[in-house]
Structures are given as C-alpha cells and as structure tokens.
Structure 1
C-alpha cells in the first residue's frame, strides 16, 4: 500500500539546485540508478558528469540520498548506484504531484543481487527517454513506473503471483508522427536477463492475458461488472514489450523463438499486442525501428507499434 502524505511530513528542502530537485523524485520512483544512467537522463549534453556528481555528493551530504557500489562493474572502478534515503523519500512525498510509492529501498537491498535487474529496467527506460529526445517525442525520467500491481483475481488471494499481474514497469511515451499526429502510447515492460526459465516467462504472459479480460466483481451478492479492470487506468490496453539481455546474440535469438513457440500454445496470449526484442537493439536502433519480434503471428520484425505490415498504428 502506498504511504499517505501526513501533515507532519517535512517541507521539501530549500536551497537545492534545479538538477538536485529533479534527481530526488527520479531516485524515489526508480529505487536504484547508476551514475552513468543519471548522466544520460539529466545531463546528456555534458561530456563528463562533473556537475551531476557534485549535486549527488551534496544530496548525500545532507542525508537525502545514499550510494552503494555496483556488484559487477564493466568500468575500471566500481560504479556508484544511488538511492533515496528515508529522509529524502519524506521530502519527495510532500510534493502532491509525485505518485506515492510504498516501497522503500534499504542499504541491504541496494547492495543485493537485485541490483542488475533493477538497473536493466532503468536501462530500458533510459533508452526510450534518449530516443524521445532525438526524435522530438516525450518520455521523461518519470514516465515509467516500476512494479505497479494490477489485480487479476477476485476474493482472498492465495499469493501475490496468483492475485496480481506486476510488470517490471509501465512506460508512457508520446510520439510525434511524421503526419503531425501525436500518439500517446503505454507499454507494459517485462525484462529478462536470461536468468529466468523460458517457461516461467511464458507463464507471466498468461497473467497479462488474464488481466486483459479480467472483469472485477461489482460488489453486493457476487454481482460482476461488465467493464474490464484495465479501462479504469488506461485509454487502451498497453502493448507488452519483453526486453532480453544478459547473454549472447545466439542465446537471445533462441529465447525469442522459444517464447514464440510457447505463446502459440496459449490462445489467450495470441490476443495480446506483444513483442520481444533485445536491450542492445532497443538502445542502438530505437523503438520505431524494426527491432520487435511479435510473439504471435508473422515473425517479421516490426516497431513498438507491433502492427502488421500495412496495419494500423493506432
């Protein structure tokens, strides 16, 4: 449950730079972000993140953020990963424009094996934000939210996996097309670092299919609504994007083929607008290049609209 704003919440700290004020809600929302990711999000035009590091150091000095070393680093020295402290979270929660997040990361969690999965989700959002900047679209550092629970079952739950569908992130993106039209898109993001059995990932696809058709009880003597639950949150059912990383191109290509085979065995999954790509393709070519392999139907690569050749991009 999200933490409510209380009258005793401290006011937002004063005297912070604009960059520091922007960093706090991003760290609050995304839990754990590497210095290099913050650089690409907030200071992409600076050759080196000198000013960014100064602001992070100041936020750490006054107790609003903290950092831990990355467990596995591709750089010479371990990269710092930043997260908001309890005091920083209280300061952000005072702002009514920031969605409440009940989850609070601890120093132990920040240093745990969850690092790489969390950072990969952020990498996916950073890729969308970077391409939005290049294309003149809109996707800000706060336009994706991690792990939003969507109920897919009425009554007493037997467990979280049974009662809820929880994507790794929900991402919103506004695309300015060549014809001048603006399209507001939403995506469910599912990240796989080649650590999950393909059959387990396919089972998660079934949860998305269940949510697409889930109609909650209307209350009172077991009466049911006639309206799907997702319509209360989205103007259209979000497209599902599965992003693979963490293995060789050959291994990831095999996983894509395995996922398509498993999806074909579940007729409900065929009703989803769903595709799979690699993080490298998304970063290098962008979401509007043919980087997505549809999970159902023709395997020809397409973009994140996941429309068949000649099909609608609504």
Structure 2
C-alpha cells in the first residue's frame, strides 16, 4: 500500500487540527461531499470515521462548514453531506494557492435534487484517488476541479452553452509505469446518471471537438493567433471520460452502444480521444484496467489511455 497522497499545504486557520485544515479546501472546491466520501479520501485505514466526524463537528461549531441530509441514502440511514459556509469559503479564499471559486453553494442548493449529480462527480474523483493510493501513483483530493469553463467561441453569444465548453470536472493524475516512467495525465470528466437523453449527451461531444480546434481571435492589431486555446492550459489535449451510473447493467450497456452510434454519425468526433465506462467498473477495476469502451473505432475495451490495441499510450 502506497502512502497517502498529501494535500498541498494551505494557510492555517487558527485552532484547527491538520485534518480539519485539509478538509476545508476540499469542501470548498467540491461543493458538497458525503461523510463516507471524506472517509475514503482522508481516513481510509480507519474502520470507523470517528475522528473525522469529530473534526467535521468542530468545523461546524466554528461556523466554517454546515451539513444537510442526503435525499436518497444508499447506506440505509440518513447520511450527512458537507459544504463550506460563507465564512469557511472566505477563510479558504485567503490562501492564494487555492483556485478561487466564483460559485458558492447555498443550504438550499445543498438540499436540492442536484445532490446526486454532484456526489457522483465526487465518487469519480474518489475512485481515482483510491486507485492512485493503491498503485503508488499521485492523485490528491484537490486534483479534480468541477465545472471549469473553456471558451469555444469568440465574441458575444446568446447563451453559456454556445460560448463555453464546461466538463463536469477536469482531473489530473500522475501515473508511474512499471519502468518508473512518470506520466502526467489530464482528463475531461462527464458524468451521466441515466437521467439525460443520450442524444443530448452525444451533443456535448461536439463542444469538445470545437474546443480541440478552437483558435482565439487575435487580441490586438497586428497580432495573429496561431495556437489552439487548450495549449495555454494543458501539455496535451485531455482525454474525455464519460462515466455512467444510476441504472442496471443492461441499460448502461445500451447507452454505451447508443453513444457509439451517435458518435459514429458525426465525423467531427472521430479524432477525439473519448471513452465510456461505468462508475462501478472504474471503482472495482481501476483506471488502468480495460474498463473503457472507445467511442470511435474498435470496441475492444482499453484503459484510460484510450490507445488502440497495440497503439501508443502517449
């Protein structure tokens, strides 16, 4: 078992334990996180998260975090979902090393039907962190960021969907191969809980394709844009991982086939490195097992490198 992946240090808040200091930026970044998810992220070797609950209670008593009840608990009992308060967000925002979040969750939103989508994104991140810990790789609880906006159109647009591509999360992961070679990977994450029309999910692929080829307009007289916008943020274009959950294996298998058919109907997506899997497969077998079905080409399952059989993993 590899050691725990450390969370980058943050500016201390007086009177808080080290664990409490680590919890605050994670709750700030991921908006809403269940006790069980925090247990897997921070205290996976403890049989029961007693100390974790104590620190959450301390943060709540200090007015830095609050909690709501999960609308549909899978544990057979009420489960608490945690989020930072305005005071807690202000405390985290004082640290320049933490990316600032314009969106702050309210108690009303925390208790809304958006719970399950948010928690599924967190479940996906938890799966990568857990497997990184097992494999000796690097992926910390702060290595995925929800809803990062990427511009895909210049000028004014009628709506956000036309001007920006917004994945459910951007996740970064450092993988160490058997040869000792380290690979820094980036992924766009899209989560589908079987509540969205497959055609609508497939339509999102077009936005990723537009971003892959989007070159911003020149910023001033005489300036010519020669680079795609993504190159300012990523060393290589991130692979797109679509994570399915919320239905039976048969229903999810049908959605995989439907997605492949819709992707094949749009030739623009053929050069997009994209694959689809279920959350259960990702959790059970890990990202470097053959759990991903490519959206284009061969149907042979592959890992998150999404390389064709016998192809390059770069």
Tell me the TM-score normalised to structure 1 length: 0.95
Equivalent residues of 2:12, 2:21 under 8 A apart: no
Q: Find the residue that maps to 2:108 and give its secondary structure.
A: helix
Partner deviation per Cα, 1:65-96 (whole Å, 9 max, x = no partner) = 00000000112321000000000000001111
- Contact 1:273–1:306 under 8 Å retained in 2: yes
Tell me by how many angstroms 1:179 deviates. 1.0
- 1:208 corresponds to which residue? 208
Q: Who is 2:35 aligned against?
A: 35
Mapped to 2, the partners of 1:241 and 1:157 lie a distance apart of 27
Q: Quick check: 1:275–1:295 contact (8 Å CA) kept in 2?
A: yes
Shift of 1:219: 2.4
Q: Which moved more, 1:123-132 or 1:74-83?
A: 74-83
Matches within 5 A, 1:215-226: 215-220=215-220, 224-226=224-226
C-alpha distance in structure 1 between counterparts of 2:76 and 2:274, whole Å: 38
Give the Cα–Cα distance (whole angstroms) in 2 for the partners of residues 39 and 102 of structure 1: 27
Matched, 1:312 2:302: no
Change (3 A) 1:255 1:222: farther
C-alpha distance after superposition, 1:198-217 (max 9, x if no partner): 00001101100000000000
5+ residue gaps, structure 2, are 1-10
Aligned 1:119-130 pairs, distance under 5 A? 119-130=119-130
Secondary structure at the residue paired with 1:268?
helix
| Kept after mapping to 1: 8 A contact 2:168/2:190 | yes
Matches within 5 A, 1:1-314: 12-220=12-220, 224-314=224-314
Give the distance between the partners of 1:18 and 1:202, measured in 2 at CA.
43
- d(CA) in 2 for partners of 1:222 and 1:304? 42
Root-mean-square deviation (Å)? 1.1
* Contact map agreement 1:215 1:224 (CA 8 A) in 2: no
Residue 7 of structure 1 is matched in structure 2 by none
1:173 & 1:189 partners in 2: Cα distance? 13
Q: Is the 8 A contact 1:12 1:94 kept in 2?
A: no
Shift of 1:224: 4.9
The residue matched to 2:267 in structure 1 has which SS? coil
Q: Measured at CA, do residues 206 and 80 of structure 1 come closer, stay the same or move farther in structure 2, by a change above 3 Å?
A: same
Structure 1 unmatched runs, 5+: 1-10
Matched residue count? 304
Tell me the distance in 1 between the aligned counterparts of 2:190 and 2:76: 30
3-state SS of 2:120 partner: helix
Distance 2:296 2:15 in 1: 53
Contact 1:127/1:286 (CA < 8 Å) preserved in 2?
yes
